[in-house]
Amino acid sequence: MMHLTLEFGGGLELLCESVKSHNVDVVLESVGEKEGKLVMRDLLCWVKTNLIKERPEMFLKGETVRPGVLVLINDCDWELCGTLDAVLEEKDEIAFISTLHGG
């Protein structure tokens, strides 16, 4: 069981019933743990099943996030942490931000 804080911004929160911040407990067995670790690939699957209530295609494309969605793990671009293979730890904060609106 891993406690994580997930944040949705830039309009993505509309897919999660307009809730921006979610404190979640992810049960490792339910996401096919590999060597006892939770990776982003598994978390995305979990999010799609448990948090995304509408229009999943705005969030996911295949097994990764839709292009234009920024992903941050503890305020660090996930591209610098291994993207889908980034290993998650207890109390990590993961943010998903859509860049659709430039403002």
CB closer to another protein, 24 vs 64:
64
Interface pick for another protein out of 11, 22, 41, 91 (rule CB under 8 A): 11
Shortest CB 24 distance to another protein, Å = 19
CB of 16 to another protein, least distance (A): 16
Sign, CA torsion 82/80/89/50: negative
Handedness of CA 24, 27, 32, 35 (dihedral sign): positive
Spatial CA neighbour of 6 closest among 46, 56, 66, 61: 46
- Of residues 32 through 91, those in contact with another protein by CB under 8 A are 66-68, 70, 72-73, 75-77, 79-82, 86-87, 89
Instruction: Please report, as ranges, the residues that interact with another protein according to CB under 8 A.
Output: 9-11, 66-68, 70, 72-73, 75-77, 79-82, 86-87, 89, 95, 97, 99-103
